[in-house]
Amino acid sequence: MVDEERFWSASVEELKQGYVYEEAEGFYYCLICGERFEGGEIFRDEQSGRWYEARKYAAYHVQQEHGSMLDYLLELDKRQTGLTDLQKELIQGFAEQLTDNEMMSRTGIGSASTIRNHRFVLKEKAKQAKLLLAIIEMMDHGNTAAPRFVPVHRTATQIDERYAITEDEYADLLKQYFPDGPEGPLASFPRKEKRKVAVLRHIASYFKSGVRYTEKEVNERLISFWEEDYATLRRYLIDYGYLDRKDDGKVYWVKGSGIKKNELEQSGSTEQVEQMTAPKKSAKGKQGKTDKQKAQAKVQEQEEERKGEPKMDKAKRKQLTAEYQERERQMGVFQIKNNVNGKIYLGSSTNLDALWGKEQFVLNMNGHANKELQKEWKQFGGENFSFLVLETVKLEQKIRYDYKDVLDPEGRQPVDMVRQYNREVNDLKEIWAQKLQPYGEKGYHGPAEKVEK
């Protein structure tokens, strides 16, 4: 995905202007959609009738097709920018040179001093970013032996160790999973997350930035990689942030390429065909059309078959259930922290898997047992809270999701084992309560009472 590499290697000035000049190739490239303009060529704008040389036309293209680069960069996920939704709203207001009173009205912040404090915090973040950039550049200077990592696509839904893939690892994984060549088919679909990311990244590279695809066109591309279950590939490409689509599923596009879902909803366009790769009227092009018709027929046939069948056969469902039950179950202590004022909520659970998602759901539904935490969640917004597992319970045996561990060989009742687990996590929580003292101004627990069990 060359466009991603170009985006992340761009300088600050190039990111601000929205395009970059590749001297070796002699082209100006749009950093958003990847469209290129050859240096020395003259371009004519059809609407105004004006003529532009390549560099000015690249700037004109960015403004006309994608709007403000500030708006585009602010639309990137917090994982890329490190900015909360509130900070993004404040930056937009500062850029528009709104007064403190206007900012208070827009954001709901109660005082001008708080607005000024937010501006100060943003300036400090900018200083830190500048120093970090200098430090990393000095770290990499002359270090030719350091591994080169494959760039993370800017619309990734979650960035973690799965994306720490070196270029050598990536090449090896493509050889392993695409033994017949890069165009497929897949030898198998990987179960490990890092390998899954590598495979999806490669498949996503077969979709062009700025092009709208119908669902059939997406399926036609995916069927060459995994004929048996192309729908799973399509779902993963959406879930991992490589593709986006309209809510009705009729139009797909490369996420982050400048196409906005709300604009599509207003336009109602669902059938824009990719003209850049349309086959020419030749013997070879005619054969290509036949292949396309075959792929369309195959897709339609499989979709009709799916309508009358369950989504997953019993054997596969049983296998997935068994794999889930074999996973180790983590028990322990966690904290939910308000990153604005530093207050902490301390909790424990005998099942930490996906707990943060469950806590967020309850808080968003205004149903959390801790009323003070619920109040500030609504006041500050969920993006200003973070979740951390502080410590897990260390037991002699591994606890799995099949709950066979509660069937004690010594004849104790299952309820006794469950009570033991509850005692273990509550004892550990008491230890952390002594360490953190999450009471009064430091937390969401009463100053004269213990952390609720």
Mark out the alpha helices in 246-346 (DSSP H runs): 261-267, 283-307, 314-326
Nearest 5 degrees, angle CA 163-CA 33-CA 88?
70
User: Are residues 168 and 124 part of one domain?
Assistant: no
Query: Given this model, what pLDDT does residue 333 score?
Result: 92
How would you list the strands of the sheet with 27-30, edge to edge? 19-22, 27-30, 36-38
pLDDT of residue 415: 52
417 shares a domain with 362: yes
Q: Examine residue 60 and state whether it is found in any structural domain, yes or no.
A: yes
Question: For 49-183, where are the E strands, in sequence order?
Answer: 51-53
8-state DSSP, 367: -
Structure tokens, 233: 């590939």
Question: Is residue 86, in this structure, part of any structural domain at all?
Answer: yes
**Same domain, yes or no, for 172 and 125?**
no
pTM strictly above 0.75 = no
Q: Which domain holds residue 395?
A: 324-442
Alpha carbon 362 to its chain centroid, in Å, reads 22
The rounded distance, in Å, linking the Cα atoms of 70 and 383 is: 21
270 touches 246 (CB < 8 A): yes
- What local confidence, expressed as pLDDT, does residue 444 receive? 92
pLDDT of residue 186: 85
Q: Give me the pLDDT at residue 289, please.
A: 43
pLDDT of the residue at 345: 94
In a domain, 295, yes or no: no
Given this model, what pLDDT does residue 300 score? 57
Number of domain units in the chain = 3
Instruction: Round to whole Å and give the CA distance between 20 and 165.
Output: 26
Q: Which two tokens stand for residue 272?
A: 């824009």
Domain C-terminal end among 211, 245, 278: 278
What is the structure's pLDDT at 447? 61
Regions of the chain where pLDDT drops below 50: 1-2, 266-292, 294-295, 299, 306-310, 324-325, 400-407, 411-413, 448, 451-453
Residues 352 and 239 in one domain: no
pLDDT at 267: 46
Would you tell me how many other CB atoms lie within 10 Å of the CB of residue 66? Answer: 20
pLDDT on residue 347? 92
Contact 6, 20 (CB under 8 A): yes
- 292 domain residue, yes or no: no
pLDDT at position 142 is 64
- Rg over alpha carbons for the chain, rounded to the nearest Å, is 27
Assess whether 15 and 108 both reside in one domain: yes
- Strand duo 36-38 + 42-44: pairing: unpaired
Residue 328, burial from CB neighbour count under 10 angstroms (0-12, 13-18, 19+): exposed
Residue 54 DSSP label: H
34 & 129 share domain:
yes
List C-alpha distances in Å: 113 to 38, 98, 123, 347.
50, 15, 15, 34
Q: Is residue 64 part of a domain?
A: yes
Reference 355, options 390, 325, 321; nearest CA is 390
Same domain, 190 and 227: yes
Contact between residue 189 and residue 173 where contact means Cβ atoms under 8 Å apart? no
- Which residue matches tokens 């790769």? 277
Residue 102's contacts (CB-CB under 8 Å, 6 or more residues apart) are 93
Contacts for 157 with CB less than 8 Å, ≥ 6 apart? 77, 239, 240, 241
Q: Would residue 24 count as lying in a domain?
A: yes
Inside any domain, residue 297: no
